[in-house]
Structure 1
Amino acid sequence: MRVSGAVVVIAVLDGGSGADLARRFTAAGAAGMLIADQHVGIAEDLAAELDRPGCPVVGVCGDIRRPSDVAALVDTAEKHLGPIDLFCVAGPEGERVVSLADLPDHLDLERLAELVALIGEAIGELVPPQRRPSESTATAA
């Protein structure tokens, strides 16, 4: 995984923290980062702390469990930082990094759906089993 020169999105789930991950990417030479947290002010404060010449950092409030928020994060990152190289999910059980090397520079709707699926898999890996919906709850309508 190439970090030097990469544009990185870090999305934080409830119970997770993107601070250490963001600091590691900054130290490794990331070209820019967008940090998203579900709670207002958290990502913005971290972005203000880490923003520097050569690695602009943008902080936004967003919930990656919603496809519309994923689309907004992608748009914001591409607008301010350029094409995304790495999309990271930080959850209560750790971190997962999704490389976008196989996706085109600009994510069209089909590729965005692929990204949403990858993020869904990452969330599944990082959310403790006791916080996941049970089979009976998930299928009850």
Structure 2
Amino acid sequence: MDINGKVAVVTGAGGGIGAALAEALVAAGARVVVADLKADGVESVAKSLNADTPDSAVAVAGDVSRTEQIQRLIQTAEESFGPVDLYFANAGVGGGVNLDASEEDWDLAHQVNVMAHVRAAQLLVPGWVERGSGYFVSTASAAGLLTQIGSATYSVSKHGAVAFAEWLSVTYGDQGVKVSCLCPMGVNTDMLTGGAPITNETQRRAAQAVTDAGGVLEPAEVAAMVLAAMDTEEFLILPHPEVKTFLSRKTGDIDRWLAGMRRYQASLA
């Protein structure tokens, strides 16, 4: 898909991958609504984008897992730029660790990492089918294809995000709706450590498992890979090529892969 002239919404755009995606989209000729729970971050991103490319971005702060907030994003885009062509469901949370995760941890991970994607698709896909064109980009994780040592909430919810993206492609891919699913490992963002100091051994091992398995990429590198994949309408975006190898091993012999993961977990020190 040609990005030039398109209207995009990017969630989780107050920093990290979301901010880098917004910057790459504007550089490619798109106009964007950038959204994030933290108003100061997303307003700063929009200000920077508009300084370089006037009238290219609008900031909206709020909880992008809520239907009424997604409706607000879509309405803002339509009023500012026109109908939404591209939606980047990029907002995400890390969640709790092990079986100590609370009901609130589980609910938050499910709402932000899965249901935010579902609700956005419910609002946008019918119109895209009618128009015969639209692009949904889901930010999941390598944890959604493999698993994340330490965090059950993150692993389970990211598996859900991948599954929903696959379902969207299967169900609407022949009706003009394109879907891509981004599954990186380590990226230099707050998400790598949960956005807060590491306070226990499980969190430390979870972060080390990611950084030891592959290189830590910069958000701008990942954003460039996303736009390149969209150009060829590729579904699975793997910034870390190791993930494809790991996934092949997992599907080839699940018991051997699980045993290997247990050994790897035990080796983290």
Contact 2:11 / 2:18 at 8 angstroms: preserved in 1?
Answer: yes
Name the amino acid aligned to 1:45: S
TM-score after normalising by structure 1: 0.64
Give 1:18's aligned residue: 18
Helix, strand or coil: the match of 1:88? Answer: strand
- 1:89 matched to 2:89? The reply is yes
Q: Deviations over 1:78-108 (max 9, x none)?
A: 1111111100122459xx9x89683446xxx
RMSD: 3.7
Q: Distance in 2 between matches of 1:47 and 1:27?
A: 13
Post-superposition offset of 1:11: 0.6
Mark the runs of 5 or more structure 2 residues left unpaired by the alignment. 94-116, 158-269
Is the strand fraction higher in 1 or 2? 1
User: Whose Rg is larger?
Assistant: 2
2: distance between equivalents of 1:7 and 1:46? 17
State how far apart, in whole Å, the 2-side matches of 1:133 and 1:26 are: 32
TM-score by length of 2: 0.36
Q: Hey, what does 2:46 align to over in structure 1?
A: 47
After TM superposition, list the pairs within 5 Å mapping 1:66-105 onto structure 2: 66-91=66-91, 102-104=128-130
Helix, strand or coil: the match of 1:84?
coil
2:43 & 2:36 partners in 1: Cα distance? 9
Superposed displacement of residue 60, structure 1 = 1.1
* Higher RCO, 1 vs 2 (CA within 8 Å, ≥6 residues apart): 1
Asked whether the 8 Å contact 2:14–2:41 carries over to 1, the reply is: no
More helix by share: 2
Report % sequence identity: 29
Match in the other structure for 1:62: 62
